[in-house]
Amino acid sequence: MASTSAQSDGGLGRRDVIKRSAALGVIGVPAVSFLSACASGGGDDGASKPDKGKTSAKNPLGVNDTAPLDFVIFDGGFGTEYAKDATALYRKSFPEAKITLTPTQKIQTQLQPRFNGGTPPDLIDNSGAEQMDMGVLVGQKQLSDLTPLMDAPSVDDPSKKVRDTLRPGVLEMGQFNGEQVYVMNYAYTVYGVWYSQTALDRFDARYPETWDDMLALCAKAKKKGVAGWTYAGKYPYYIPFSLFPFIGKIGGREVLDAIDNLEPNCWKAPAVKAAFDAYYELYAKGYILKGTPGLDHIQSQTAWTQYKALFIPNGSWVENEAAKTTPKDFRMKVSAPSSLDAHDKLPFGTIWAAGGEPYIVPAKAKNPLGGMEQLRVMLSEASSRNFTRKVKSLSSFNGGTEGLRLTSALQSGVDALKKAGSNVLNPRLQDWYVDLMKQKIGVGALGEMMAGRMTPAECVKKCQEFTDAAAKDSSITHYKHQ
């Protein structure tokens, strides 16, 4: 693990020159969760089994060809058009099946009563601010095991199983303490620091590969009335999209693994302290867009596309989500976090990339095989290409980009993955412990620090307190890296 003070012949390391502002009073934020458990009890093994159809080469899962398909999709950054197209392909195979596709931004609000009543949909895109806690759902046995889908022949090449067509790490992301797969993350998301090459050109700058260069560019921009950074202040769990890989780069992936495992003192690692100090410096030097703590994700993205700030932590859905406000000459790009100093454990280019947009099939669904078949269709080359073309993001299908003309943002994501090589990080806190990540670590700690209402030391302490409480909470299911 990297030391807090870098020892080098060239003088003081980056960690030694970070200066904190004077400590400000802590303003507590109530850690009230909108992500309560989605059902009062576990799965019912005695539930009636759905009717099954005949298996065949065209219907390997044995879907009942007349059974309705109830599909609820999160209407967010990726929209719903790609799903409509995918249901049209499903309808070709099962023309007698009635398909209901319901878009919503209120996943938790609309679906918790259905889970509680034992009438959940057959397929759910469980995403957005009201995402249901996957760890809770798995722990309460509310989800179907997707192993039949993973072992089914792929649409394009029946000699290959669906699991063999996925990008690296996608299958593992759907697993919770074992080999069973409960979540299928359909998008392949590149997280990091997003910027406009056009905006950087105005300052005759390249993306800063060191933190010293980052601060220097932010200082230069400030003199011209442009903020260095903005972020989703109302949803500060966006901050880790660049902060977590920054921590991993400084101290190695084992630091992030310890946080995922809820280990004692995991937040007290030197790499965490160094990263918090660095990010706090953005606030202390006035490099964050004024009013950012009050902005939601759309407002912060809009300010960014209006050239009011140079950098924003985000995921690759941002290109599609911010399309309406993005100038044609914006040249959107993503980069891995800057290096803190030469003593970082991992090289520049280390990035967070993983499956995103999690799809689930409830255990009590009336047509779970239909839900799995819809996912099998979506994991075909045709659906994948359509997804990439329409929403400007990679899918979890390993391919489907050949011959497509990629936008600058999408191409930069592909380039970032290539540069990272094996240095791709995949923190699991956001899908193992949704409430802990979003409401407590995000809103209750990182949001407070970045708004200047909590010092880095206080933020470390608060993160550790939240984590220790979660580790001791016997009402939640705990997960660990195998």
Q: Which DSSP string do the residues of 437-452 spell out, in sequence order?
A: IIIIIIIIIIHHHHTT
Asked if the structure places residue 233 within a domain, the reply is: yes
Burial class (CB in 10 A: 0-12, 13-18, 19+), 379: buried
Asked if the structure places residue 62 within a domain, the reply is: no
Q: For residues 448 and 459, is the Cβ–Cβ distance under 8 A?
A: yes
Nearest to residue 366, comparing CAs of 43, 50, 102? 50
Number of structural domains (the chain) is 2
- Domain shared by 110 and 227, yes or no: no
Q: How far apart are the first and last CA of the chain?
A: 21
- Domain shared by 131 and 233, yes or no: no
Q: How far apart are CA 222 and CA 45, in angstroms?
A: 61
- Domain shared by 375 and 341, yes or no: no
CATH number where 249 lies: 3.40.190.10
Q: Which token pair is 7?
A: 């020892």
- Domain shared by 207 and 285, yes or no: yes
Q: What is the DSSP string of 196-223?
A: EHHHHHTTT-PPPSBHHHHHHHHHHHHH
Nearest to residue 15, comparing CAs of 191, 225, 247? 247
Q: Global pTM? A: 0.79
- Which residues, at least 6 apart from 125, have a Cβ–Cβ distance to it below 8 Å? 72, 73, 74, 83, 186, 357, 358, 359
Residue-range definition of the domain harbouring residue 223: 7-25+190-353+427-472
- Domain shared by 207 and 271, yes or no: yes
- Domain shared by 75 and 106, yes or no: yes
- Domain shared by 321 and 433, yes or no: yes
- Domain shared by 345 and 244, yes or no: yes
Burial class (CB in 10 A: 0-12, 13-18, 19+), 299: middle
- What's the confidence (pLDDT) of residue 49? 57
Asked if the structure places residue 33 within a domain, the reply is: no
- What's the confidence (pLDDT) of residue 466? 98
Asked if the structure places residue 252 within a domain, the reply is: yes
Q: Which token pair is 81?
A: 């058009």
Secondary structure (3-state) at 166: strand
Q: How far apart are CA 358 and CA 223, in angstroms?
A: 42
Asked if the structure places residue 120 within a domain, the reply is: yes
- What's the confidence (pLDDT) of residue 14? 45
- Domain shared by 20 and 147, yes or no: no
Q: What is the DSSP string of 314-326?
A: E-TTHHHHTGGG-
Element (H, E) at 195: strand 184-196
Element (H, E) at 332: strand 332-335
User: How do residues 342-371 score in pLDDT, each as one tens digit?
Assistant: 999 999 999 999 988 999 999 999 999 999
Asked if the structure places residue 331 within a domain, the reply is: yes
Asked if the structure places residue 183 within a domain, the reply is: yes
Look at residues 413, 437, 462 and tell me which one is the last residue of a structural domain. Answer: 413
Beta bridge partners of 99: 69
Asked if the structure places residue 231 within a domain, the reply is: yes
Instruction: Please state whether beta strands 99-104 and 69-74 pair in parallel, antiparallel, or not at all (unpaired).
Output: parallel
For residue 378, CA distances in Å to 11, 17, 144, 372, 459 come to 54, 50, 18, 10, 41
For residue 121, CA distances in Å to 37, 69, 365, 438 come to 17, 8, 6, 25
- Domain shared by 259 and 151, yes or no: no
pLDDT tens-digit profile, the chain (482 residues): 333 333 333 333 444 434 333 332 322 332 333 334 443 344 444 444 566 888 999 999 999 999 999 999 999 989 999 999 999 999 999 999 999 999 999 999 999 999 999 999 999 999 988 999 998 999 999 999 999 999 999 999 999 999 999 988 899 899 987 789 999 999 999 999 999 999 999 999 999 999 999 999 999 999 999 999 999 999 999 999 999 999 999 999 999 999 999 999 999 999 999 999 999 999 999 999 999 999 999 999 999 999 999 999 999 999 989 999 999 999 999 999 999 999 999 999 999 999 889 999 999 999 999 999 999 999 999 999 999 999 888 999 998 888 889 999 999 999 999 999 999 999 999 989 999 999 999 999 999 999 999 999 999 999 999 999 999 999 999 999 87
- Domain shared by 231 and 303, yes or no: yes
For residue 319, CA distances in Å to 76, 326, 334, 346, 438 come to 12, 8, 10, 28, 22
User: How do residues 154-202 score in pLDDT, each as one tens digit?
Assistant: 999 999 999 999 988 899 899 987 789 999 999 999 999 999 999 999 9
- Domain shared by 312 and 454, yes or no: yes
